[in-house]
Chains A and B, each alone.
Chain A
Amino acid sequence: MSEPLLEIKDVRVEFEVRDGIIRAVDGVSYTVNRGETIGVIGESGCGKSITAKAAMQMLPKPGKITQGEILYYRRDKFDPSRPTQLVNITKLDPDGELIRQIRGGEFAMIFQEPMSSLTPVYTTGTLISEALFLHRKIPVTVGDQMSQKIMQYRPVTKEEAREISIEMLQKVGIPKPHERVDAYPHQLSGGQRQRVMIAIALSCQPFMLIADEPTTALDVSIEAQILDLMRELQESVDMSIMFITHNLGVVAEMAKEIVVMYMGKQVESAETVSLFYEPKHPYTRALLQAIPKIGRRSGERLASIKGMVPDPFHLPPGCVFHPRCPSFMPGKCDRIVPTWKEAEPGHWVRCLLYEDV
């Protein structure tokens, strides 16, 4: 059994706006294991990014976590022998000392649009160094006591930061890192900017990388490069990745486990192969059928999901998917809210087809 790093338990996030309350995330639970990749997929507005932001205590205003807990099994970054500490992130002050250490230092995040996520007035070197000064410490041996070394940690110096920056740029595959360390974001191509984002994120050796649609804005050939890079880096540094995307192809390649979300609720979660080959929830099935697949002969019509995503202020009663569901059972699906059930070992689903009612 893998060791958990982050457990999201029955989390609900609400936004109070003029026209009422939007429940952006409603009762979502999943676990990110150490060193593994979990894929979170869903269409826009399904709450996949909001859940990740909640885990970083970075909810945009006026979002609030109103239920559930997010448990972080925190290991000491510099001394793995110390016991794991259990931190409930929902209880932390969003501006507090601890969450700021976790953010960036232990959980790092990369975003969809690499141009707007890099401050244009700083060089790549400065951007990486900034993260290093905040979160990275250099071990120093201060003495020997029997067989044990006594270690202390000091912040990185400017020269070291520059060296590490160059090293990081090299690691993420930027050509001529010695020159590029002094380049400004606008002098880089889109793919290179995303590489720099990854370099910044990884420079502090985080335990978890939250990748929010990291390749959506990139071309296919660059996307392939970045995905390859992420997999390579993950193997070498033993880091968990929470991969948020709407692209089923990307998630099939990257994730070990997948969570499918629809209108703020998770509808299905399983190991990747099981989810793609034996999808249980009608929504997952429909999604898989709705994408045109390369290599499959064209001509036939795509199976589409009828209707539209409902208005978040007027969610349908019962199962939120029932108005669009091909397996809609009148009298049941529109009245009864399905529960989160383990249909098969390791394969969870929220659908009345798998409940006796």
Chain B
Amino acid sequence: MEEPQVTETGPEPQPQAQKQELSQAYWSLVWWKFKKNKLAIVGAILIFLFYFVCGLFAEFFSPYLVNYQSDHLESRPQPIVFKTPEGKFTLRPHVYGTVAELDLVQRKRTWTVDKTQIYPISFFVKGQPYKLLGLIPMNIHLFGINAEKYPEATVFLFGTDRLGRDLFSRIIYGGRLSLLLGLIGQALTLVLGMVMGAISGYYGGAVDILVQRLTEFVGAFPDIPLFMALAAAIPVTWSPILVYFMLTLILVFIRWGGLARQVRGLILSLREREYVLAAKSAGASDWRIMSRHLLPGTMSHVIVIATLMIPGMILSETALSWLGLGLRPPLTSWGVLLQEVSAVRVIRFAPWMLIPVPFIILAVLAFNMLGDGLRDAMDPYGGR
């Protein structure tokens, strides 16, 4: 037989260190898996940027105020160039100026790009006054044209609408309402869906039947007619903010059922787990079982579902506003912006008004990428 091998008696292995690492294992494993998913990271960064730029600091990032009407009606987008008025290359971005022309077909003045005028874009420039986060009075914008030096110049990167409002600024502002509606609406849906689902799944019996039938009833309701009826029912005298919250509530009302069903299913399966029986046999109250043992177990699943539901919320707002059933001017949301494109004339003569579309798509994709990444990382369907 062969010689027995002698192993090196090296330093004792350190099971302690490994155990320490395992202590936060679930969340650290989630994070580790999530990090590996590049798309999910991109999604998360995009969503962060969206909410940072649009949600919190829209006024700072946009060169104009949302309802500021310039006299440049339906101005074409002004491209950014990197050259000085003298025609030399520079790292500082400049914009071409615009010039009014008489359009004989439309019989009106239109603004087109004039390549002979070149204006430098200034950063942290003084502009129209606003209140940062609704509190701090400021007039600094991230970029813009130095109005003292070039009073005649404008910076309409995405052009303007029929009333001469800067589309770039309006997209940033519009994102605020659209994205916040997605977030607030989803949060409310989450609360309602979880409460109803948990009650239904935990108590079972008559309560369960009632909630189940209710979700089916709500789910079977045709959305658009319901909206038309509800929109008609909202008094015209209501302030736009109130209308906004009503719209959110309506969307929540229509969408909570799906989540409730999912939570109910999860609770039903968790309810039979032995640790729940153990808590019951120790005398735990219903509330304790629900809050300590059942709902935490559904969290990872619910977070994923909720993330994947936000795009639907945003798209619903867009669709409803576009139909004229949702938000109305003077409020600005992405749906409201698109509503202005509902005429063929606009698409024909001011195609830049479609620029909000890629932003909506990007936001929706970002949420989906994040949601998919979270699902793979948390893997609530199997695995652990």
Contact = CB atoms under 8 A, between A and B. Distances in A.
Contacts of B6: 335-337
Given A18-B32, A314-B13, A357 B4 contact: yes
Nearest to B32: A18
B296 to A, nearest CB: 25
Nearest to B22: A19
B6 to A, nearest CB: 6
Contacts of B18: 19, 311, 313-314
B4 A355 contact: yes
Q: For the side of the interface on A, what is the size category?
A: 10 to 19
A339 interface: yes
A339 B15 contact: no
Given A311-B15, A341-B1, A318 B7 contact: yes
A26 B2 CA distance: 17
Q: Which of B1, B4, B10, B15 has most A Cβ within 10 Å?
A: B4
Contacts of A352: 4
A335 B8 CA distance: 7
B5 A337 contact: yes
User: Interface size class for chain B?
Assistant: 10 to 19
B13 A335 contact: no
Given A313-B18, A314-B15, A314-B18, A336 B7 contact: yes
Contacts of B106: none
B4 A339 contact: yes
A338 B6 CA distance: 9
- Taking chain B's interface residues, is the majority helix, strand, or loop, or is none over half, making it mixed? loop
Interface string B13-28: 1110010000000000
B239 interface: no
Nearest to B13: A314
B90 interface: no
Given A19-B18, A313-B18, A314-B18, A334 B9 contact: yes
A18 B2 CA distance: 35
Contacts of B14: 314
Contacts of A341: 1
Contacts of B15: 311, 314
Nearest to A18: B32
A352 B8 CA distance: 17
A338 B4 contact: yes
B274 to A, nearest CB: 18
A324 to B, nearest CB: 15
Contacts of B8: 317
Contacts of A336: 4-7
Contacts of A334: 9
Interface string A263-284: 0000000000000000000000
Given A314-B15, A318-B7, A339 B1 contact: yes
A311 B8 CA distance: 19
Contacts of A337: 4-7
A352 B4 CA distance: 9
Interface string A337-353: 11101000000000010
Contacts of A339: 1-2, 4-5
A352 to B, nearest CB: 8
Given A18-B32, A19-B18, A311-B15, A317 B7 contact: yes
Contacts of B10: 317
Nearest to A315: B13
A230 to B, nearest CB: 32
Contacts of A314: 13-15, 18
Interface centre among B7, B14, B15, B32 (most CB of A within 10 A): B7
B12 to A, nearest CB: 9
Interface string A19-31: 1000000000000
Contacts of B2: 339
Contacts of A335: 6-7, 9
Interface string A297-317: 000000000000001011001
Nearest to A339: B4
Contacts of A313: 18
Contacts of B1: 339, 341
Nearest to A20: B18
B80 to A, nearest CB: 46
Contacts of B5: 336-337, 339
A95 B2 CA distance: 37
Contacts of A311: 15, 18
Which 6 A-B pairs have CB atoms at the shortest separation, nearest pair first?
Answer: A314-B13, A317-B7, A337-B5, A336-B4, A339-B4, A336-B6
26 contacts: A18-B32, A311-B15, A311-B18, A314-B13, A314-B14, A314-B15, A314-B18, A317-B7, A317-B9, A317-B10, A318-B7, A334-B9, A335-B6, A335-B9, A336-B4, A336-B5, A336-B6, A337-B4, A337-B6, A337-B7, A338-B4, A339-B1, A339-B4, A341-B1, A352-B4, A357-B4
Given A19-B18, A317-B7, A335-B7, 9 more contacts: A18-B32, A313-B18, A314-B13, A314-B18, A317-B10, A336-B4, A336-B5, A337-B5, A338-B4
Interface of A: 18-19, 311, 313-314, 317-318, 334-339, 341, 352, 355, 357
